[in-house]
Structure 1
Amino acid sequence: MTAPRESVASAIRRALLTPEPKAKVFAARDVARRWRLGRLEWQFDEPMPEEPAWPAEPELLPPNRMPKRGKAGSERGRIALWHALAHIEFVAIDLALDMAGRFGAQMGRGFVDDFLSVAADEAMHFALLDRKLRRLGCHYGALPAHGGLWQAAHETRHDVLARLAVVPMVLEARGLDVTPATRERVRAQGDEDGARILQRILDDEIRHVRFGTRHFVAQCEATGANPPESWKTLVKRHFRGALKPPFNDSARSAAGLSRDFYDSVASETNARLAHNS
């Protein structure tokens, strides 16, 4: 007698509750592979945890307590950069898993396809960055890390549109803006291996933002809502940070995120910052 297949929700939950980084990488990629091969049941029979399991290290700190990275180009500065990037990608694994597991039943199979593939990408990114750290004589967890990266997920856990608006369409889109300049700084230091890693991450993140934007727009259009206006409302309500230029308009456009979405929000943010300064 054939044993029943595991549900997709159970597999995702188990990956989210895996704390050790290498094990989480394996679990995320395994969930994505088994889903792609039809080896997981379309069943959302287990709730997603309020937050994922994480290792004891790195120490998570609020942004205002994060130590300075050190001079750009110095050994300390390089290690701090790669550690910060590794932490972003580590948390991104859980953001993508939670997206698929929390909202998949509501959004359908294509949504789960997309965000489990994102989780596998983020796991691969983290593995590349962790390997980079080890070549520099360091490892993930050796330095403190930003403790607020899960906050956006927690605050949008009851609303898929809010989650899409903030995570792929703000946080990941910000990566499209800043990664090219980081890549060029790394290349100027003679680190072509690091530049290749950053290019790979940039290429994948364009696709991730495209997934988020596509599902956001489809949901808005299904209800007759205006996508850019809905996005602006949700960002004002749920995103605590600031949308600051410069924007990588070409990468954002490739991801389906036109200036109709973010131009006026950025202008309002700049005006507010100027007023408060």
Structure 2
Amino acid sequence: MNLSTAAVTVLTTADPAEKVRLSRRFAEEWRTGAISQPVAAPLPDRPARPTEPQLLPVRDMPPRRKGGSAAGRTALVHALAHIELNAIDLSWDIVARFGSDMPKKFSDDWVQVADDEARHFDMLSHLLESQGSRYGALPAHDGLWQSSQDTAHDLAARLAVVPLVLEARGLDVTPAMILNLRKFGDDAAADALQIIHDDEITHVAAGRRWFEYVCAEKGLEPIPTWQTLVKTYFKGSLKRPFNEVSRSKAGFAAAFYEPIAD
């Protein structure tokens, strides 16, 4: 099996538990050399999805409950699990779509990200079950895959938007979620989010590293190129405050994002 075939297998698997199992298996097989280098291959426009959760436009999503209620915390964990499920597919998509034209280390990095995202989803799924719920029990929004479709033609654009906007935003908002969860005594959820936050630093670092590589290959300056791509392909604004400590750990300097922030 080559890595593109493995990636397409994950992308076309609808059951979340099976998607996690395959992701973790293929990541280990890639690390041991049992899976060969990616080759150019046709990819699905959208990943396979289970019948639940109900996917809604962002504008139609019910408002998330605030405060320390158990229902509100469950809704938060469900929303994060949905993000992680999409992140699994985004990671495999970047490997299969662009990996055949990149150094092996590129695939090494994004297979590791896929493995991390699968582990995160599994962790959050079990957390939902411990709260008397399950993934799919609540509606989720259907906008997360749009960034993949918008940047399917351009690796620089994909790196600019997915790890360096969407995942970097996770670094900004997660610490406050952790503090709030601990405030209401939900240490299990807080511990899970801390793991996710720390892993996301390495994901943003990979995005920044490969974005700079692509820019160097094309003779482009990274900072203005990133700003132009974000303005072109990101449907939204960069929102303050930024977690500059965590972003800096990923090597993602404020000179990239501060000049174009909302």
* TM-score where L is the length of structure 2: 0.98
1:12 matched residue in structure 2: 7
Return the letter of the residue paired with 1:156.
T
Equivalent residue of 1:103, what SS?
helix
Q: Give, in whole Å, the separation in 1 of the partners of 2:141 and 2:223.
A: 30
1:120 to 85, 101, 115: 115
Q: Give, in whole Å, the separation in 1 of the partners of 2:134 and 2:87.
A: 18
> Structure 2 matches for 1:86-97, cutoff 5 A?
86-97=81-92
How far does the alpha carbon of each residue in 1:167-212 deviate from its partner, in whole angstroms, 9 at most, with x for none? 0000000000000000000011111111111110011000000000
Q: Give, in whole Å, the separation in 2 of the partners of 1:97 and 1:103.
A: 10
Deviating more after overlay: 45-54 vs 191-200: 45-54
Equivalent residue of 2:43, what SS?
coil
Return the letter of the residue paired with 1:216.
F
Q: Is it true that 1:215 corresponds to 2:210 in the alignment?
A: yes
Tell me how large the CA RMSD over aligned residues is.
0.9
Q: Is it true that 1:259 corresponds to 2:237 in the alignment?
A: no
Q: Give, in whole Å, the separation in 1 of the partners of 2:48 and 2:106.
A: 24
Return the letter of the residue paired with 1:63.
V
1:25 matched residue in structure 2: 20
Q: Give, in whole Å, the separation in 2 of the partners of 1:179 and 1:213.
A: 20
Return the letter of the residue paired with 1:36.
R
> Structure 2 matches for 1:172-211, cutoff 5 A?
172-211=167-206
2:31 matched residue in structure 1: 36
Return the letter of the residue paired with 1:203.
D
* Distance verdict in 2 for CA 1:23–1:232, change over 3 Å: same
Maintained 8 Å contact 1:210/1:255: yes
Q: Give, in whole Å, the separation in 2 of the partners of 1:41 and 1:224.
A: 30
Q: Is it true that 1:134 corresponds to 2:129 in the alignment?
A: yes
Q: Give, in whole Å, the separation in 1 of the partners of 2:103 and 2:49.
A: 28
Maintained 8 Å contact 1:89/1:123: yes
How far does the alpha carbon of each residue in 1:196-239 deviate from its partner, in whole angstroms, 9 at most, with x for none? 11110011000000000000011112222110100000001100
Equivalent residue of 1:246, what SS?
coil
Q: Which runs of at least 4 in structure 1 moved beyond 4 Å after TM superposition?
A: none
2:225 matched residue in structure 1: 230
Maintained 8 Å contact 1:100/1:112: yes
Maintained 8 Å contact 2:82/2:140: yes
1:101 to 96, 101, 111: 96
**1:43: how far off?**
4.0
Q: Is it true that 1:66 corresponds to 2:53 in the alignment?
A: no
What runs of 5+ residues in structure 1 fail to find an aligned partner? 1-5, 271-277
How far does the alpha carbon of each residue in 1:94-148 deviate from its partner, in whole angstroms, 9 at most, with x for none? 0111011110011221110000100000000000100010011000000000110
Maintained 8 Å contact 2:56/2:141: yes
Deviating more after overlay: 94-103 vs 46-55: 46-55
Maintained 8 Å contact 2:40/2:97: no
Q: Give, in whole Å, the separation in 2 of the partners of 1:106 and 1:162.
A: 16
Maintained 8 Å contact 2:53/2:139: yes
Equivalent residue of 2:44, what SS?
coil
Return the letter of the residue paired with 1:172.
E
**Pair member with larger Rg:** 1
Q: Is it true that 1:163 corresponds to 2:153 in the alignment?
A: no
Q: Give, in whole Å, the separation in 2 of the partners of 1:174 and 1:36.
A: 29
Quick one: percent identity of the two aligned structures? 50
Q: Give, in whole Å, the separation in 2 of the partners of 1:249 and 1:148.
A: 26
Equivalent residue of 2:96, what SS?
helix
Report the count of equivalent residues: 262
**1:49: how far off?**
1.3
Return the letter of the residue paired with 2:45.
E
Return the letter of the residue paired with 1:144.
P
2:147 to 142, 147, 152: 152
Maintained 8 Å contact 2:92/2:114: yes
Equivalent residue of 1:234, what SS?
helix
* TM-score where L is the length of structure 1: 0.93
